[in-house]
Amino acid sequence: MATIVAFCALYFMLIQLVSHQFISSVAVDPTKGFTALPLTKSNFVVQRPYDVPENQRYSFKNGVHKLWVYSTDKPHSPTSKTNPRTELRVSGYDYSSGVWQFEAYGFIPSGTTGVCVMQVFGAQAHATTLMLRVYNGAVSYYRAPVLIPHVYDKWFRLNVVHDVEASKVKVFVDGKLVHQAPGRGGKSHFFKCGVYAQDDASHYMESRWRNIRVLKKS
């Protein structure tokens, strides 16, 4: 019986390693060893439905970027066939090598669901290396696993580290490592945050962001 129990424990440990899902209960400083890069207003490009003015889908007040979109909105360009979005595209820091990090404090109001709120854009056979989505009050890596079970109506600190050469992505929430996943290849990457409608999207979607930083490993 003891042998069976030990085998089962080892099996589940291996499954956890293979799935690249790691959870840490110890808070750390994910920015240690990284250098923050200068950001100005020009580094934030607002992608919004093409037929409405920017101020009808985005605001920046008291240091908070507020982005919202409706499921019935147009895409961000007349030729795009993608879902509605209002996102901040970090410009000026596209990268193809090295270790890069996105840091910000995020806020998701109640009711927002079926939406991507942050992504690492660029991959080999996909559009993205990472997507963080909200479904029914939980933040997940794509559809699974869940990384933040209860996210509505509270600020959380998010750090996403992308090691291009090691082909690895790490996600930290409030300083704790909540997920690690393999990279997806690709020759160019950049960070985005906001709201980008996915499957089963709510009619109204919103996210807020403050203290956005882009860092690079020294």
The total number of residues written for the chain in this structure? 218
pLDDT tens digits in sequence order for the chain, 218 residues long: 445 434 434 433 333 444 444 567 788 999 999 999 999 999 999 999 999 999 999 999 999 999 999 999 999 999 999 999 999 999 999 999 999 999 999 999 999 999 999 999 999 989 999 999 999 999 999 999 999 999 999 999 999 999 999 999 999 999 999 999 999 999 999 999 999 999 999 999 999 999 999 999 98
Q: How far is it, in rounded angstroms, from Cα 129 to Cα 100?
A: 13
Q: Which two tokens stand for residue 207?
A: 């996210």
**Helix or strand run (H / E) with residue 36:** strand 34-36
3-class SS of residue 7: helix
pTM of this prediction?
Answer: 0.89
All residues at 6 or more sequence positions from 38 whose CB lies less than 8 Å from its CB, including other chains: none
